[in-house]
Amino acid sequence: MIEFDNVGFTYQHAADIKRAKRRKRVAAEPRADWGNRPDEVWALRNISFTLDKGEFLGIAGHTGSGKSTLIQHINGLLTPTEGRVLIDGEPVGNPETAAKSGIGMVFQYPEHQLFAASVYEDVVFGPRNLGCSADEAEERYRKAMDRVDLDADALRDASPFGLSGGQQRRVAFAGVLAMEPTVLVLDEPVAGLDPKSREDFLQFIARLHREQGLTVVMVSHAMDDLARLCTRVLMLNQGRMHALGTPAEVFADGDQMKAIGLGQPAAQRVGSKLMAKGIDLQQPDGLFTLETLTSAVAQVWKQRA
């Protein structure tokens, strides 16, 4: 279970601590009033929620609303200025301890972090660092490559830099999966991919969630993707929680989304507009998806014919 307990974060505060540590003026503890200056900009404020094992949480929000800042608290890359982040009741340490406790982080454009001379070395770098034997690293390499639909034998000695952009991203992803995480944190994982690779990737993330039982936290600007994949959505606005609930609860209210500069998922938007124009569509329990909207329109069409 992941718990955010009244978390606030300012980059100013983090930079102050770093500077002060560098100058050795203070020990690890910050001054008590840091983070509470009236002129300080809070990237996150009053964030409280819990995420159970096996959930798929989507994080939405306007640009600069704090999405990336929030997820970097899950793997200990950032430390709260106030409040606490707990994983299974324990405070998150640093990225290394977080990786050991099963948090896998996939950053935006993860292929930019490829570094090794061969695909094999890149994928097993993390497991070897965690102390895996050569045999276990080999097994993890095969499993991870299989999960991302890449040929483990054919690509083993290939340079990751000679692969296509989509393949590079898969290799980077395999490197995270080889650490065998139980929680996968993804920052806009399909940004910059062509439509087919985009869909392949999303389906592959959905499979990891559904079949392997992974807990997934995914930042995305694509409301349609969040609506169809997530069990819950957290919507941020200016560093604060604007809404948290099922996709239906969060996305159904178009006005609420418009107020913070976001649009509803496309099928819901079209469905709502048709209904506002007097077309009596059979509304599903939750949101309109492409499928339920198509059936509802077809039903009205048939009745009129």
Ligand X SMILES: Nc1ncnc2c1ncn2[C@@H]1O[C@H](COP(=O)(O)OP(=O)(O)OP(=O)(O)O)[C@@H](O)[C@H]1O
Number of residues lying near ligand X (CB under 6 A): 10
The 178-217 site mask, x for binding ligand X (CB under 6 A), equals: ----------------------------------------
Q: Which stretch binds ligand X (CB under 6 A): 32-40, 57-65, 243-251, 252-260?
A: 57-65
Q: How far apart are CA 143 and CA 128, in angstroms?
A: 15
The verdict on 35 binding ligand X (CB under 6 A) reads no
- Which residue in the set 65, 81, 268, 289 belongs to the binding site for ligand X (CB under 6 A)? 65
CB of 85 to ligand X, least distance (A): 15
242: which 2 tokens? 């604007």
Note whether 276 and 283 are within 8 A (CB).
Answer: no
CB of 263 to ligand X, least distance (A): 15
The 8-27 site mask, x for binding ligand X (CB under 6 A), equals: ---x----------------
CB of 43 to ligand X, least distance (A): 4
Long-range contacts at 31-38 (CB < 8 A, ≥ 24 apart) = 34/81, 35/8, 35/10, 35/81, 35/82, 37/12
Q: Which stretch binds ligand X (CB under 6 A): 48-56, 66-74, 168-176, 226-234?
A: 66-74
The verdict on 43 binding ligand X (CB under 6 A) reads yes
The verdict on 81 binding ligand X (CB under 6 A) reads no
Range list of H helices, the chain: 11-22, 67-71, 95-100, 119-129, 134-147, 152-155, 165-177, 195-212, 223-229, 247-251, 254-259, 266-276, 290-304
Q: How far apart are CA 123 and CA 178, in angstroms?
A: 7
Helix (H, G, I), strand (E, B) or coil at 98: helix
Q: How far apart are CA 61 and CA 132, in angstroms?
A: 39
Note whether 243 and 256 are within 8 A (CB).
Answer: yes
- How does DSSP assign 122-151, residue by residue? HHHHHHHHTT--HHHHHHHHHHHHHHTT--
- Which residue in the set 35, 58, 66, 175 belongs to the binding site for ligand X (CB under 6 A)? 66
CB of 221 to ligand X, least distance (A): 7
Q: Which stretch binds ligand X (CB under 6 A): 58-66, 167-175, 241-249, 254-262?
A: 58-66
Q: Which stretch binds ligand X (CB under 6 A): 46-54, 62-70, 84-92, 94-102?
A: 62-70
Residues of this chain that interact with ligand X (CB under 6 A) are: 11, 43, 61, 63-69
